[in-house]
Amino acid sequence: MGKKKRVAAIMMMFLFAVVLFWKPNDVLAAARQVRLRANRTYKNYDITGNKKKDSIRVKTTQNSIALVVNGRTVYSTKAEQLGYGEADIRYCQFANGKPFLFIRGYGINAMTMSRILYYRSGKITAINMGGYFRNFGSIYDISGFRVSGNAFYVVFHSMPYSTGVTFLKPYKFVCSKKGAIVRASYTFDVERFSHTWNSTSGEREFKAARNLTVYTNNSMKKKAYTIKKGQKVSIDKIYYNGKVMTLRTKYKGKYGWLKALTKSQYPKYKQFADTAFAG
């Protein structure tokens, strides 16, 4: 075999080995979640993100929750009427290996202590899962939690002042390139409303309790149309960016956006006649 052929053969063998054993970073690990028990110490998981196993303990009582990592309390919060101190605790990892904890409380006000906890730049970060909608209503329950790839999904059971008991479709959070866990969108898709599901047309309908002004988009600057009192209107999306909430409406075949009620406006300025509330 000539020198050139030997060099070519060696190069081919090298390339074959690279292809055989090389894997891209995003598939080195699969997303996962493991259930943990409250008030028990675990030493087999990395929560700080430094690839080393940590000592993890989630302490719960009837009115509090705390996260203890390597013997130090790194996060604590009060919880109202937390049943018997029980909680659904899950240690999770995205496909990129970033770890986090999902904690859901049980009790009358379970959502007041449901959190996502994770480390970023060496410091613990908390996402208050029950804090969504704030001045525009409440999140009273959560279900359907799952991790897939570099994202996780939850189903919020909400009660905005505008629409009452509202069931939303799975909502997505993602792990950003900078290591932050953020919402994938400001828009929530509606599954249905309590007592207002129109099984024939498949739309989510309400009857207007007053004349309602609808706008072309979320800037609320240009008027699209007016929904007359007593007329039916459907709602399929809720937009919430932390400060503003609007509802996407469909009225006589036209779409638009309606300002949602705040706590101070309800029930004096109730928008729909057939909303249902719990609690």
pLDDT in tens, 249-263: 999 999 999 999 999
The amino acid at residue 173 is F
C-alpha dist (Å) from residue 236 to 19, 203, 252: 48, 8, 14
In the block, residue with structure tokens 């007359």: 228
Residue 156: which of 81, 91, 79, 240 has the closest Cα? 240
pLDDT of residue 7: 46
Residue 235: which of 185, 135, 164, 138 has the closest Cα? 164
- Distance between CA 235 and CA 162 in Å, rounded? 11
pLDDT grade for 109, boundaries at 50, 70 and 90? low
Does position 85 have pLDDT exceeding 70, yes or no? no
pLDDT of residue 112: 61
Where is mean pLDDT largest: 28-32, 86-90, 223-227, 275-279?
Answer: 223-227
pLDDT in tens, 9-56: 555 555 444 444 444 444 446 899 999 999 999 999 999 999 999 999
pLDDT of residue 70: 98
* More confident of the two residues 61 and 261: 261
Query: Range with the lowest mean pLDDT among 3-12, 127-136, 266-275?
Result: 3-12
pLDDT of residue 132: 82
* More confident of the two residues 203 and 188: 188
- Distance between CA 264 and CA 61 in Å, rounded? 33
Query: Is the full-model pTM beyond 0.85?
Result: no
Whole-number average pLDDT of the chain:
86
Does position 266 have pLDDT exceeding 90, yes or no? yes
- Distance between CA 141 and CA 104 in Å, rounded? 9
Q: Side by side, which strands form the sheet with 115-120? A: 32-36, 87-93, 99-105, 115-120, 123-128
Report the DSSP beta bridge partners of residue 256.
249
**Portion of the chain with pLDDT greater than 90, in percent:** 63
pLDDT of residue 24: 43
